[in-house]
């Protein structure tokens, strides 16, 4: 079985870097609510991934997810 979940790590990492409420020159403190929310979700998704808990991991993604993998091409659903 091919693992199509790995490239999603880049998208989750992007969530950590980009803040929707960011203002130029403003840096978020680790105690900001959005930081805590993203951090806890990041921990949860990677814990599930690292434990190969596909049921929990799958809850983080919509059923009709589309993913393009550099080796395997387009995948048009989470199930696939």
- Domain for residue 3, yes or no? no
**Could you list the pLDDT tens digit for every one of the 80 residues in the chain?**
455 555 555 555 555 555 555 556 656 566 789 999 999 999 999 999 999 998 999 899 888 888 888 888 998 887 77
Inside any domain, residue 34:
yes
Has residue 22 been placed in a domain? no
Distance from C-alpha of 37 to C-alpha of 41, rounded to nearest angstrom: 6
HEC profile of 22-73: CCCCCCCCCCCHHHHHHHHHHHHHHHHHHCCCHHHHHCCCCCCCCEEECCCE
The answer to whether residue 24 sits within a structural domain is: no
Q: What is the pLDDT of residue 1?
A: 47
Tell me if 50 is assigned to some domain: yes
- Would you say the pTM of this structure is higher than 0.75? no
Within a domain: 18: no
pLDDT given at position 64? 86
Looking at the structure of the chain, the number of domains it has is: 1
Residue 2: inside a domain: no
Report the run of H or E that residue 17 belongs to, with start and end: helix 8-17
The whole domain housing 48 covers 8-13+29-75
What is the per-residue pLDDT for 61? 86
């Amino acid at each position: 079985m091919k693992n199509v979940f790995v490239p999603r790590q880049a998208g989750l990492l992007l969530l950590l870097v980009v803040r929707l409420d960011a203002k130029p020159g403003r840096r978020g403190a680790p105690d900001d609510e959005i930081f805590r929310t993203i951090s806890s979700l990041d921990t949860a998704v990677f814990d599930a991934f690292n434990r190969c808990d596909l049921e929990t991991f799958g809850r983080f993604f919509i059923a009709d997810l589309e993913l393009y993998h550099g080796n395997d091409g387009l995948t048009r659903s989470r199930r696939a």
